[in-house]
Amino acid sequence: MLQVKNLTFSYKKQPVLDAINFCVNAGEHFSIIGESGSGKSTLLKLLYGTYDLNKGHIFWKENEILGPKYHLITGPDYMKYVAQEFDLMPFITVSENIGAFLSNFYPEEKQARINELLEVVELQPFAHTKVKELSGGQKQRVAIARAIAKWPEVILLDEPFSHIDNFRKQSLRRSLFRYLKEKNITCIVSTHDKEDVLSFSDQMIVLHETKIMAKGTPQELFKNPKNKLIASFFDEFNELDHIGITYPHQLKKVDASPLRGIVTQSFFKGHYYLIEVNLNGKSIFFEHDEALKKNESICLSITR
């Protein structure tokens, strides 16, 4: 289990994180979300021992994770960290990068491990391509594969799919997170993308103004967002008087209702339209199966 106890950290005199507490069980997938500048990446670096804490403690099982005051080399052996900047060797191949820290005493086992990881990150066709010739998204996948090559107990991923094309992200997420689950590797992800969280995380926290604003499962926080910041991470949202926060899928067009507004625009979203409605001077959004005429008067009902 990873235990974070009363973690507090500042850059010089600027507070970044204050009194942070959470636990992550072995094999769990744990997500950290928050606005830009909320401390997501800093928290990952602290978990890896990159900086010294101002206060608090971090433990993995019985081992305390300490910063550079105590260790010349950053990061414990049982943990790997994949940053947004990739520390790869550009003039050797993808396979050579992935296998860079694997033992050469057992060449067949080493090659089998490299092949396994090439499949996980979907880079088999680029096995013999030099890293300098890859795109940013391909380099990101190489960095992830190299990080898990030596079977870490914990992997820390900072925006792990930020450079990867949308058509590739979905299958790569499924492949990587399924593999980590099967191998019981604890995964902690800092992300701004709900797709990294909803289907794959066991627990998540929301950072805001140096504190943990919310903590729970993705299902709990999605279904009952306690404020606009949490709701905005998951979807478009509406804030209705006397009702509170609703998502567009929770509103539907009906024949009669006290909620009456005027259609201002219809946005095509693929299998549905996002309809913008002026409701007493406020823009409200709901999902509908077809576009609606501008200036059409409609009524809305709430479904939970």
Say what the pLDDT of residue 242 is: 77
Say what the pLDDT of residue 162 is: 85
User: In whole angstroms, what is the distance from residue 11 CA to residue 33 CA?
Assistant: 20
In CATH terms, the fold of domain 236-302 is OB fold (Dihydrolipoamide Acetyltransferase, E2P) (2.40.50)
**Dihedrals φ, ψ of 293, to 5°?**
-70, 140
> Quick check: do 2-228 and 236-302 share a fold?
no
Domain ranges of the chain: 2-228, 236-302
Domain range 2-228, CATH architecture: 3-Layer(aba) Sandwich (3.40)
Say what the pLDDT of residue 36 is: 86
Say what the pLDDT of residue 226 is: 87
What residue ranges of the chain have pLDDT lower than 50?
none
Please answer whether residues 221 and 201 qualify as being in contact, where contact means their C-beta atoms are separated by less than 8 angstroms: no
Query: Mean pLDDT over all residues of the chain?
Result: 92
Say what the pLDDT of residue 84 is: 80
